[in-house]
Structure 1
């Protein structure tokens, strides 16, 4: 069977049309996959930017002639969270009462920007040297998801901290001392 010129042209047109259709479909599928990835990244970015970021950290404040250590829980995120559990290993006790730090915090709501703090040591530089690191695990949730963070406190940081301690003079009134302490707390923005 011999094809005429017009049949050959039609056959070539059909083959080219089929190839172009296949190429178009491949391009469309790739574009859809790329769009889907972009949508997923955008959704993840929106969720990440609006989630709570609850962190536990320590800070130090000079009060008269001593340096107090505070353990602080703060929500650095943009939505509130409910704290499910905080575990310190070894158990973290405060120097004043000898009680576990944040023992009853489970179920507490923490708003964006809110911090909850407690004194863990009234004179941190009198603490034993070379204590083991304190491992921390915090779990919390919002309306969408449950989160868990793990990190540790190292008392070795105390070797790097230098604080100028001053004893209040006997000429200072309690109001002047309280003003100094208040200024230090405000300066540290706990």
Structure 2
């Protein structure tokens, strides 16, 4: 049995339509994956409470899916805040689940030989996974630049002149202003 010209053209049209449908399906799958994936990152935030500014390192999931952290390596490393261990928050992050919108806040603690003015860039190598995919990020933070950051729009009296309720209220307002 011979195929006629119209049969061959029909077959080509069907094959082209099938290829377009498969490509569209794959593109939709990729768009869905990208819009629903976790986006875990590390960033610096300076929070001013009363007359003192403190730098914080924040680990946050900006994505729409939770993920487990597999590895988080900081170079050069921070020093531990706890006297009885050398572990930092970043060392303890393995197997930590970070839900969508969830953040963890820690104070960076520099070893005595690390002057924050001398360290410009600190690198965070981050690996995390969901049930179906693994993600790797390398984030470089310029810690020196945070020294120039405007930290507050309020004019506060000296902390010693305030009651504990005023200190808590102003500290909470500053944290909420940063959306942490």
User: Scaled by the length of structure 1, what TM-score is found?
Assistant: 0.78
The one-character-per-residue Cα deviations of 1:51-94 (angstroms, maximum 9, x if unpaired) are 21111111110022221111111111222111111011111336
RMSD: 2.6
- SS state of the match for residue 41, structure 1? helix
| Residue equivalent to 2:22 | 36
> In the alignment, does 2:156 pair up with 1:157?
no
> In the alignment, does 2:163 pair up with 1:173?
yes
CA contact (8 A) 2:60 2:104 kept: yes
| Residue equivalent to 1:24 | 10
Return the structure number with greater helix share.
Answer: 1
Counterpart Cα distance in 2 of 1:96 and 1:178? 25
Identify unmatched segments of 5+ residues in structure 2.
none
Aligned residues: 171
Counterpart Cα distance in 1 of 2:148 and 2:158? 25
Larger Rg: 1
Shift of 1:139: 0.6
CA contact (8 A) 1:93 1:101 kept: no
Counterpart Cα distance in 1 of 2:68 and 2:159? 45
User: Scaled by the length of structure 2, what TM-score is found?
Assistant: 0.82
The one-character-per-residue Cα deviations of 1:137-167 (angstroms, maximum 9, x if unpaired) are 1111111111111120012423541345755
- SS state of the match for residue 104, structure 1? helix
The one-character-per-residue Cα deviations of 1:15-69 (angstroms, maximum 9, x if unpaired) are 9x72222222222211111111000011111222222111111111002222111
